[in-house]
Structures are given as structure tokens and as C-alpha cells.
Amino acid sequence: METVPHAVDPNRAAQHGSVVMRLLDEIFPLVEGFYVDLHKNPELSHSEHRTASGVAEWLTRTGYEVHKGVGGTGVVGVLRNGPGPTVMLRADMDALPLEERTGLPYASTAHATDGEGKEVPVMHACGHDAHTACLVGAADLLSETREEWAGTVMVVAQPAEETLDGAQAMLDDGLYERFGRPDVILGQHLGPQPAGLISHRAGVILGAADSYRVRIFGEGGHASQPHTTIDPVLVAAHIVTRLQGVVSREISPSEMAVLTVGRIQAGTKANIIPDEAYLEVNTRALNDNVARQLEAAIERIVRAEAAASGATREPEIERFEGAGITVNDPTSTAEVAAAHHAYFGDDYVIHLPDPFPGTEDFSCFGLPGDPQPIPYVFWFVGATPHDVWEAAPGDTPYEKMGNVPSNHSPFFAPSREPTLRAGLAAITVAALSYLGSERSAQPAPTPGAASMGGAYQEHPYDGGPEPVGDPFPVHDAPPPAGDPVGASDDSYGPPPAGPRQSADPYGPPPGEPAHPSGYGPVPGEAAPGDSYDEPAGSHGPPKGEPYAPRAEGGAPQEANDAYDSAFLASSWPEPGQEDPAKSTHDADMDAVIGAQDEELREEWRGEKAEESTLSADMAAILDDDPQGPPPQGPPHGQPSGPAFGGPPPRGDAHQAPPPGPDDDLPDSEYRL
């Protein structure tokens, strides 16, 4: 790659995104159903066979060239659409060995065998189910609107992110040699901020992490005769104590560093001094030099303490897991963030002032050691239900984010619909920032026209300073033989290819052909009830000055506290109190999807769900749970106040369908 692709004008990208996202309401029930299925059926790192088959099946049916088994269980889909840049969209698929305690009707009860042969519970506690659902949804949207863009989309569903080796495994398996080297890489991650909020940061956004295994060898014996032994437990205790002084006494106060001994094991019985002790140590840093300094300190202290205790055998120290810092390309970050601002509106996009020491292996795809690394942009999508956010203790977003269930918590329960809608829009608009085709562009935006944002825009831009935000935590076998692309014995993913039944509210009317995928409109034709005619003035920058991209580096021109954002600071309006300055684009979207929403609500009220396979399946998952309705309060021990029961907050632009009679029905927040 000799040059970095230049993004289209952010307002132009938002215009393309607006047209593409008109299909969102048509495919959203499928994306939502796929997400629920993945959440109920999580798989551990390197074992994502079922998930990978679902992704491959979806991509195959929507027209991608699909390859399975890349780097183990990874999936790659390629869609070529004329000359233009190659844009890679990445999501991770694996889950965590954790018991879910959210109380959701689709909570995971899965168990699996981990790498050590132990049976463990499994949960999607880090949002990878949402990442994957948004990835296939965005791929579908782009496939069905090829007239709006030009270039190549490269979809990568990555295994084993939680073990920080899945990205490198795909690269080692010839990812770029086999499928082409991308010009820019885009990825996103759920976080604990309010559902639907998009957070960017140029430069370092995530830290480096390394994990080490340490084995101390002693000489065992009877507990009554310690003088005849070399006690490895005592050696391990000294190591743990001394390691705690590394950060405070060896690392500059101007640098961030964390050193944690997360595991220690020794012995089998109180009256036996064991032969050896085992430790696992984890480090975090925002600087590669600091990471190496921590590693050197661990090795020095472990060996010195063993020698000081008279150990006759050298300890073993092994780095078994790790990934470097994630450094967003400043120019690309500014371009994607500008497109997000133009589409969502300023209240829904913030800029993080500081990086976070959580770690991802996403940065591996950028080839950090290559003479010509590939630019990438990684951002966050808020997932905390709005009622949970409002009820969480704290006067500022910084305090609230420490009091809501976050990634890797057994209570992590994203607000399903607003999170998925925001994630779908964010990654699609980001892709269109580079793929947007001038050949199909709408007329230039009218000065003073309303912001973009579709169903997401509610607070109009007031000309004030741009809000900023703060960081939030994230975490840190080949497929079965003979498993063809798309083959699966499980009931999940898109419905079978072919025309839908006329009872399906998302399919074509009787007598009209269906999209080849089986769930979209015929290429080149509008969906029933849809219109691609834009009303005058429906696109453009926020009110006032035309939108100008940020200076290189992506930092806001005027720094301001995150809680100056209307999205973060205040309660969402009650029904009937919404902002009257609704954009003309919103009005157009209402006209497009209003009839569909009303038809869907009537379907539920008229008990016609059984006529639609999709609706019946979602009803079985969400409403007919044998355990009964979800709890109307927080699960026992949940750390952050009321969260997972009760209706969603009314009047928020991110919650859909809009407030109506269904809000008074039991479990309405789980209905389609």
C-alpha cells in the first residue's frame, strides 16, 4: 500500500449512509434474532464453530465470496464492487468462561470444556455477540445497496480475541496474501456508556497487555520439618509482595502501568510442603517501553527470590498471552468521526480524552512492525440501558461508568435494540466514509440544513462546543471436516433463501419477486412502502456553519467535559416532550418506516406472530421463556441499581418502536 485512501466528505458519507440505512428496518429483526441466538449459544475461544457457520451462511446468502477456517475458526467474506479502496470490517466472535447472571430471558446457560479440560460456564460478557451481529448486518446492507458505493468490502469475523491470539492466527494463515491487503481497517467494541453513544479517540486508545506463567521449584517435605525443605510457597509469597513495588518504585509517575498477580496455586494438603508453586501475572501499559520494563522486572524478581531462598532449580517464566497498544490513525479517525458526527449528530458522538489500559488484538491487523502499516480506526458503542445509566450512583459520567455492569461482568446486559441499531449504523457509515461513490451522490447539502441521524437524531446541534468523553473498560482446532460453507444443523441465522411468505411483514407483497438472499428487496427496486426520493434539505451539516472535518489528530477543537453532552448529562424526555426541532431527515425516515412499525405492532396485538417464522422464533426466545417473564428488578447482587427489568425509558430516540399502547404490556421491552 503506497497511499492511504482519502475519505469522502463527511456529509456526503452521511448522505450515502442515510440511503443505505433505509433498509435497516427491513433486516433489523434478522440481525436482532441472530444476536439473541449468539447470546444464548456462546462459544469459547478457538471453538467458535457454530458461530462461524452462522456468519458464513449469512455472508454467502447476501452475495459475498466466503472462506471458512481461516486461522482456525475465522471467516472472511469479500464483496467486490468496482474500482476503489479495500475496506476491512472486523468483529470478534468468542465468549468468556463466566456464568451469566443478567436475568435476561435469553441468558446463556451454556457450559463447555476449557483448554485445561475443565467444564466451565460460558457467557457473552464482552459484547462479541453484538459485534458479530452488527458485522453481518452491515455486510448485508452494503451488499443490497451497491449502487451507493464503489470498492471492495472485506469482512473478517475473528476467533479467539479473548486469548489475544486470534488476529495473529488469521495473519499467519495468509489473510492478506489470500484475500488482499486492505487500505483501511474498521472495528468497534461495546462499552458501558449509555446505549447508542459513539466514542472516538485518535492515537493510543487501548493499552498493551502481557500475561506470564511462573513456576517456582522447591523441595517438598513434611510440614513439621520445614528445615529439610525449600518451601516454594514462601518463595511465591515473596515474589507477589515484591512485584507490588514495581509500578510504584520503578515506573515513572508520568506513565501508566498495572501489574497484577491473578493466579497462585500450590500444594494439596495443610501438612505437606509442596515441591512447586505456580503463578500467573498480568501487566498493562500504554507504552511499549513500559511494557518491556515490566517484563524485565518480573524476570529479575522471580529469579532473585528463588535464588535467595536457595532453590536448586531455576524458575520457569513464560509469556503465554499478549497484544500491543492500539493506536488509531489520526487522519482516518478524524475522517470516520466526522462522518459519525454528520450522521448521528454531535450529542451522540464524543471524543475520549484519555486512553484505557484494556487491550485488544485488533491492532495486529494493522501490521505495526511493517514498514508500511495499515491505518485503522477503532471506536466504542455504548451499551448500558438508559434506565440503568440514570439510576447508577454518581454525578458525572466518570462516576456512573464505575457503577454500571461493564465488560466481563456476569451482569453485562446491553440494551439490545438501541445498541444494535447504533452499532449497525456506525460501522456502515464508517465504511461508506471510504466507499461512498460520487456517481450516486445527492446534491450538495443546503447550508443550515438539519443534521443527519435518521432514527438516532433527537437533540439538535446548538452551535456550542463539541462534547468530549472519558474512557471505559474493555477486557483486555480447525473446523469440523466436511463442514461446507453455510452448512449447519442448527436453527439460527437468516431464513432459507427464496421468496418469503406473504404473511411476513418484511418480505415483498404477493406476486413480487424476493431478493436472492430471501430477505431483501429485488436489487435496484425499493422495498415495499419504501422511497428513495429525498425531500429537499433532508441532508446537510448541523444547523449553522457547514460541518468541517477536524484537524489531523481527531481531537476536538474546543475541549469540554463529557457530561456537557446532552446525551450523557440529562434524563431522556418523557413522551410528548421531545424536541420540536426534529430534522427533516427524521421526518422522512418516519414516513418510510412508520407504516412498517405500525404493521409490526398490529401483528403482535393481533396475535399473528405465528404466521411469520421469524416472529414466531423471536417470540419463543423472548416471550415464551419457560421461566416466565424476566425479573422486574435487578438480579440479586447486581452492582448498579435497577437495570434489567421494567420498561425502557420513554421518549428516547434510540428506543424503538416509539411509545405506544404496547408499552403497557408485560415484557414490552423484549418485543420486536
Catalytic residues: 94, 161
As given in the structure block, the three cell numbers for residue 620 are 419463543
Q: Specify the length of the chain in residues.
A: 672
Q: Which residue has the cell 461495546?
A: 190
Read out DSSP for 326-378? EEE-HHHHHHHHHHHHHHH-GGGEEE-SS-BS---SGGGGG-TTSSSPPPEEE
Nearest C-alpha neighbor of 210 from the set 125, 147, 295, 270:
295
Neighbours of 402 (CB within 10 A): 16
Q: Is residue 75 within 8 Å of residue 144, measured between CB atoms?
A: no
Neighbours of 260 (CB within 10 A): 14
Q: Is residue 663 within 8 Å of residue 650, measured between CB atoms?
A: yes
Neighbours of 598 (CB within 10 A): 13
DSSP state of 480: P
All residues at 6 or more sequence positions from 588 whose CB lies less than 8 Å from its CB, including other chains:
534, 535, 538
Would you call the peptide bond into 657 cis, given omega within 30 degrees of 0 as the criterion?
Answer: yes
Neighbours of 580 (CB within 10 A): 6
Q: Is residue 1 within 8 Å of residue 372, measured between CB atoms?
A: yes
DSSP state of 123: B
Nearest C-alpha neighbor of 432 from the set 6, 22, 8:
8
* Burial bucket for residue 82 (CB in 10 Å: 0-12, 13-18, 19+): exposed
Calpha distance 629→667 (Å, rounded): 7
All residues at 6 or more sequence positions from 576 whose CB lies less than 8 Å from its CB, including other chains:
651
All residues at 6 or more sequence positions from 4 whose CB lies less than 8 Å from its CB, including other chains:
183, 184, 329, 331, 332, 375
* CA 598 to the chain's CA centroid: 30
Calpha distance 665→672 (Å, rounded): 13
Nearest C-alpha neighbor of 432 from the set 213, 608, 184:
184
H helices then E strands: how many in the chain?
15, 18
